[in-house]
Amino acid sequence: MLSSARHAALRLQGRAAGVLLLGLVAGCQGATQDAVSIESPAERQARRDAARVLKPQETIGGGPVRIGMITGLMSGAGAKQGERDVRDGAILAVDELGGGQLSLTIENTDGSPQQVIEAANRLSGEGVKLVAVSAEVPAGTVSDALRAKDDPVLILHGDAAKRADGSFSFASDYIDSALEGAAYASGAGRKRLVALLPADASASERQRLDRGLAAYDIRPVLTTAAPFSSDASLKDKLKDIDAVLLVNAGEGEMGALSVLRSNGYLAPNALIIGSSRWPAAVYGRPELAQSHLCLFGPESGSRMTASFRQRYERSANLEAAYGFDVIALAAGLVRTHGENGINKQNLLSPNGFLGAAAAFRFQPDGSVKRTCAIYQIAGGKLNLADPAPRSF
């Protein structure tokens, strides 16, 4: 049974049982207030209007440990919803987890390198201990502008190539999702895997996938960009394939999957593994029924998601969880190590951290690893098959 193989997958990935930072665990899971405040319609509308107003600089909380955030929300194209979600998640976490120790200064820029540099300079002058960046700017823009070069910089957009040396990726993308899904399949005993990359995958994405599979001791029978045609030389090589990593689900990838099936290359119980790049529109395709996806995000029904919905009257998504977890991370480090506990050494704790978006830990190269929930597609919908592990 696939769900029972999760522990094997964890062992395969080299995850050692460890105790997460208690401050962060307690903060993320237990700080949300259960009581629901009662407000009049006029008060509710005033709160909604205030929440929509963006200012170039915002400060939330009054604690001695200062955290900085740089967004691109003042761009002429209007507020980007993903960045607003990050901001709102962070503000919520300061109120619920700050404990009087944290203050958050948000610099809302137009996303240009010049404004981001100016924002970083201001934050440096305020003595921030950590800076989170959701604005998409060239690598090193923020790190170079900070006077305190040792202050950690967390990059919240998904392009790992835009992370400068010394900074930390905080977002996980579809390559990360594909790797965790492949590890899940391998842990379930599916060793003969074909990896189908999208035709537009960059060289760096291909390299990340290859390195990640090797790190999990997964050796694909074939790794290729879709579509590909049947070839006589592949007949023996592709016999009894028991897992297909379908990184994307476009027409090229679907055609490649059809080739594998029509030529009898797939074992009867072959497992189809997808990634977070799959659009929801493909969930109803009959050839993808029973496929499995590794997806990052906040746990539905958790205290964080309930609190976010109560405050902002919309569902918490992955970006909101990222914003929340930046503050949860800072709060946990301060509770565990004191006011000077936010530093690169402590960020590299091998035990990792537990947040709204499951467990995560930073690698020595600044990349991030996250645990994810496994979903199975049935009836055109995602069904939770295995919750995200809460430790490494």
Give the chain's domains with CATH numbers: 22-171+299-348 (3.40.50.2300), 174-295+374-386 (3.40.50.2300)
- 353-355, strands of its sheet edge to edge: 353-355, 358-362, 368-370
How would DSSP label each residue in 181-247? HHHHHHHTT---EEEEE-TT--HHHHHHHHHHHHHTT---SEEEESP----GGGTTTTTTEEEEEES
- Cβ-contact 190, 8 below 8 angstroms: no
For residue range 157-187, list pLDDT tens digits in order: 866 666 777 799 999 999 999 999 999 999 9
Backbone angles phi, psi at 317, to 5 degrees: -110, -170
Structure tokens at 247: 């990184």
Per-residue pLDDT tens digits for 358-384: 999 999 999 999 999 999 999 999 999
Say if residue 23's pLDDT is above 60.
no
Residue 26's pLDDT is: 36
- Mean pLDDT of the chain, nearest integer: 86
pLDDT digits (tens, 9 = 90+) for 106-129: 999 999 999 999 999 999 999 999
Distances, alpha carbon 239 to alpha carbons 233, 245, 266, in Å: 11, 16, 7
Residue 202: CB partners within 8 Å, gap ≥ 6?
A: none
Instruction: Give all strands of the β-sheet with 193-197 in edge-to-edge order.
Output: 222-225, 193-197, 241-246, 266-273, 292-295, 373-378, 381-386
pLDDT 10s digits, 59-96: 999 999 999 999 999 986 655 889 999 999 999 999 99
Q: Which residue has the tokens 């936010």?
A: 342
